Amino acid sequence: MKIFAPKENDPKETRASLDPAAVAKLVGLGAEVVVESQIGEECDHPDASYKEAGATLTTDRVGSLGSADIVTRIRKPSDIEVAQLKEGAIHISFLDPFNESELLAKFAEAKSTAISLEMVPRSTLAQKMDAISSQANLAGYVAVITAANRMNGIFPMMMTPAGTISPAKVFVLGIGVAGLQAIATAKRLGARVTAFDVREEALEQAESLGAKALRIDLGETGGTDQGYAKELTPEQLQRQQEAQAKVCAQSDVVITTAKVFGRKPPILIKKEVVDSMQNGSVVVDLAAETGGNVEGITPGEETVSDNGVKLVGLANFEGQVSKHASQVLAANFANMIEHFWDEEKKALKIDLEDEIQQGCVITHNGAVVHERFKD
Ligand code: NAD
């Protein structure tokens, strides 16, 4: 079975879907691994390290796409590249399936099996292949480091002969995987952290990390069986915005990470709240790439509001620590392939009765097979 890892199409993408350690693991399973030359250029893995791990390097991207049994990549492919896959090929990547119905149709047309990393179930068994978590964890870390870097002050309290510097006040909105890491990182740097989420268990997790939980009575909020938050009603959202406005105004750093699975992230910080914040304070929006939690933030850009608030809407935060992001992402790919590896046939077995595959296999045998996207 031939596994091909192409270089990413997006020039801003710094991560690689496979690193040398993952290559070695897959070669150990009995797979032939081919990677596009310079795939690891931006994450400190030269071609030689892939070769040493047992991969073949190629510059023939189209030929390799057309001959591979499995393609691993981070971002979704173009329509043209889907058509270049060979019939029956398995393509594993982030796919944004809620917004890409035409792309899913192209996969079905090409008779290839599309596996969406976003749709891997959030279960204990699937944790080792959960790329959303492995990347969100690093994004949460980078959000805090970025904020600390942009702030013209320090995070920890310092008592010096020249006076006392107060600890930075950090407010984390959304306490999922990224939010928890943001809290832990900000605490390690000595900040005073407040956090809010619509899920009570998330507030308790924040408290166990030493943050102060902001509790807002929103009435029934609910969640999905995967542990995701449900979308709030407009009234609940307004109540939340009002209740957290004061905390934002007093914070040196606000980090937003709130997402609602399969939908646009909610706007949690309106322009008037940004207007009420102190000059020099920093807002980092981890949801910016998919629409943002903060009014006025520009996805992919850093701007400054009229009252001097630094608005950081950068995309691909995890890409700033591309070596470690690639390490855990590549491990997710290799773990998935290993989990479904058929020892005898030396091939990845597609079994639509399997619980994990039911969650993340979107197209197979010329059709969209996933329940949520069939229509
Ligand atoms: P996410 O990225 O989808 O969302 C981030 C956070 O935003 C969530 O905590 C969500 O509750 C919160 N949020 C949504 N609307 C909000 C609002 N209006 N205000 C404030 N916060 C809001 O979440 P995620 O990090 O992908 O995690 C989702 C869930 O999956 C969590 O419960 C997590 O513990 C769980 N999880 C389970 C496993 C596992 O069992 N293997 C692995 C990873 C995550």
Residues 328 and 307 in one domain: no
| Axis crossing angle, helix 20-29 with helix 322-339, rounded to the nearest 10 | 10
Choose, from 61, 75, 122, 150, the residue flagged as catalytic: 122
Establish if 130 belongs to a structural domain: no
Per-residue pLDDT of 124-140, as tens digits, reads 999 999 999 999 999 99
Residues 275 and 185 in one domain: yes
Residue 165 parent element (H or E)? strand 163-165
Q: What is the pLDDT of residue 246?
A: 92
Residue 143 to residue 256: CA distance in whole angstroms: 9
Distance 131 CA to ligand 1 centre (A): 14
Look over the chain and give the mean of its residue pLDDT values, rounded to a whole number. 95
To the query of whether residue 133 is one of the catalytic residues in this protein, the response is yes
List the 2-5 sheet strands across, edge first: 56-58, 32-36, 2-5, 70-72, 90-93, 113-116, 361-364, 367-368
Whether 121 lines ligand 1, by a CB cut-off of 6 Å, is no
Establish if 311 belongs to a structural domain: yes
Whether 225 lines ligand 1, by a CB cut-off of 6 Å, is no
Residues of the chain with pLDDT > 90, as a percent, come to 86
If you average pLDDT over residues 28-36, what whole number do you get?
97
Number of domains in the chain: 2
Establish if 133 belongs to a structural domain: no
The reported pTM is: 0.95
Establish if 168 belongs to a structural domain: yes
Q: Which of 275, 296, 315 is the last residue of a domain?
A: 315
Three-class secondary structure of residue 108 per DSSP = helix
Whether 266 lines ligand 1, by a CB cut-off of 6 Å, is yes
Q: What is the pLDDT of residue 291?
A: 86
To the query of whether residue 263 is one of the catalytic residues in this protein, the response is no
Whether 257 lines ligand 1, by a CB cut-off of 6 Å, is yes
In this model, does residue 174 exceed pLDDT 90? yes
Residues 156 and 218 in one domain: yes
Of 259, 261, 317, the residue with max ligand 1 atoms within 8 A of its CB, to mutate for a pocket test, comes to 259
Residues 31 and 47 in one domain: yes
In this model, does residue 185 exceed pLDDT 80? yes
Q: What is the pLDDT of residue 313?
A: 93
Residues 149 and 298 in one domain: yes
Residues 162 and 284 in one domain: yes
Residues of the chain with pLDDT > 70, as a percent, come to 100
Q: What is the pLDDT of residue 141?
A: 98
- pLDDT band per the 50, 70, 90 thresholds, residue 154: very high
Q: What is the pLDDT of residue 10?
A: 93
- pLDDT band per the 50, 70, 90 thresholds, residue 87: very high
Q: What is the pLDDT of residue 213?
A: 97
- Taking CA atoms only, the protein residue closest to ligand 1 atom 23 is 176
Residues 24 and 84 in one domain: yes
Establish if 307 belongs to a structural domain: yes
If you average pLDDT over residues 300-327, what whole number do you get?
95
Q: What is the pLDDT of residue 223?
A: 73
CATH of the domain at 109: 3.40.50.720
Q: What is the pLDDT of residue 102?
A: 96
If you average pLDDT over residues 243-272, what whole number do you get?
92
- pLDDT band per the 50, 70, 90 thresholds, residue 219: confident
- pLDDT band per the 50, 70, 90 thresholds, residue 261: confident
Residues 170 and 271 in one domain: yes
- Taking CA atoms only, the protein residue closest to ligand 1 atom 8 is 176
Distance 30 CA to ligand 1 centre (A): 37
Q: What is the pLDDT of residue 75?
A: 96
Distance 177 CA to ligand 1 centre (A): 6
Whether 259 lines ligand 1, by a CB cut-off of 6 Å, is yes
Residues 161 and 200 in one domain: yes
**Locate tokens 């491990």: which residue?**
331
If you average pLDDT over residues 325-350, what whole number do you get?
97
Q: Which atom of ligand 1 is found nearest the CA of 136? A: 25
How many CB atoms neighbour CB 19 within 10 A? 30
Choose, from 17, 84, 112, 133, the residue flagged as catalytic: 133
Inter-CA distances, 155 with 148, 248, 310, Å: 7, 16, 16
To the query of whether residue 199 is one of the catalytic residues in this protein, the response is no
Assess contact for 70 and 2: CB atoms under 8 A: yes
Domain extent for 83? 2-119+322-368
To the query of whether residue 130 is one of the catalytic residues in this protein, the response is yes
Per-residue pLDDT of 66-86, as tens digits, reads 999 999 999 999 999 999 999
Of 198, 225, 336, the residue with max ligand 1 atoms within 8 A of its CB, to mutate for a pocket test, comes to 198
Establish if 126 belongs to a structural domain: no
Assess contact for 105 and 94: CB atoms under 8 A: no
Residues 293 and 330 in one domain: no
Q: What is the pLDDT of residue 32?
A: 98
Q: What is the pLDDT of residue 152?
A: 96
If you average pLDDT over residues 95-119, what whole number do you get?
96
Residues 337 and 302 in one domain: no
In this model, does residue 222 exceed pLDDT 80? no
Residues 45 and 99 in one domain: yes
Whether 195 lines ligand 1, by a CB cut-off of 6 Å, is no
In this model, does residue 224 exceed pLDDT 80? no
